[in-house]
Amino acid sequence: MSTRRHTARHVPCSHPQIRRAEESRPVTATEVPVYDAGFLPEADGHAVWFEQSGRPDGVPVVYLHGGPGMGLESHVRSQFDPAFFRLMQFDQRGCGRSRPFGALQANTTWHLVDDIERLRRHLGIADWWVYGQSWGCALALAYAQRHPAAVRGLLLQGVYLGTAAETAWIVDGWRQTYPEAWAVMAAALALEEPARLHARVAERLQHPDPAVQRAAVMALTRFELTCCYLRPDPARVEALLDYDFCRANTLINLHYHAARFWLEPEQLLRDLPRITQLPLTVINGRHDVVTPMGVAWRLLQRWPGAELVVVDGAGHATDEPANVQAVTATMDRLRDRLQGG
């Protein structure tokens, strides 16, 4: 029986499917070690890196990172009680330690879905909880809709569904919320038509001058990171701007957007009846500009029994204190429920 205490409380509100996450008490981050790591057997020319932490015989949870193009996040390990959960993370194709780094070939939503299932089988897990963050939410839903028997339940943070409306929001919403950051980026890209943002970056990445390519990647990434935070800290943003990582992330992200994520229009919402029998908890920052609350609300309306945890003092970034507290409390509450406490 775990003895770890909740780090935040969830406060019910007037809507039966919504809770509000308190953020008044700080979370003391404790480094949770990885007890197992390695590559899945190579498939389609890709070697996918995975890590396991927590309790080897614990309740299994697979964490799907955002992007497309980001990578696993070591700090999230402390948000899953290591005395109870067995947490698995992996770098999606082309990301992090997976090889080849930045590769686009055989890199689609459905290849990633296959990788999740390969990881489950490789580790001998009958079924597991699936946790998606941002782009990882779309990936979690796609996986669950294809392999419902392998999923115990879903936890989604910062809901993204891969729709055309969400792609348009990058211009319509992010630009309106952070106009000064947009202006800096647009000037660096010589971007005259906002709707051509992705096309303009793709053009710059084909430029023969490496300096032009670098400037485009860094300008876009700086803007995206700024939008992730409720209170952007320029120093924090600059510290995250590693060029090799940012370039790979940009290439993969553009690759997925250009293919509309290999999803039919509204596909993930259309196919929800396949999985709405599963438990679902959604966590979303009230002031999340990247994945706004309205997207989570659409999902909630189509999923009877689902729960939405509203984090009033947070944007999108997983390392914002209010988001850390909300995720930790949600996972502790799930632990207590599974223990019968």
What are the residue numbers of the active site? 134, 288, 316
Distance CA 292, CA 281 (A): 16
Q: In the Cβ-directed half-sphere of 24, how many Cα atoms lie within 13 Å?
A: 5
User: Per DSSP, what are the bridge partners of residue 85?
Assistant: 59
Centroid of chain to Cα 262: 18
What Rg, from alpha-carbon coordinates, does the chain have? 19
Return the SS3 of 196: helix
Say how many C-beta atoms besides its own lie within 10 A of residue 81's C-beta. 22
Single-letter amino acid, residue 105: Q
Centroid of chain to Cα 205: 25
Return the SS3 of 210: helix
Distance CA 188, CA 87 (A): 41
Q: DSSP letter for 42, please.
A: P
In the chain, count H helices and then E strands.
Answer: 12, 10
Distance CA 198, CA 12 (A): 40
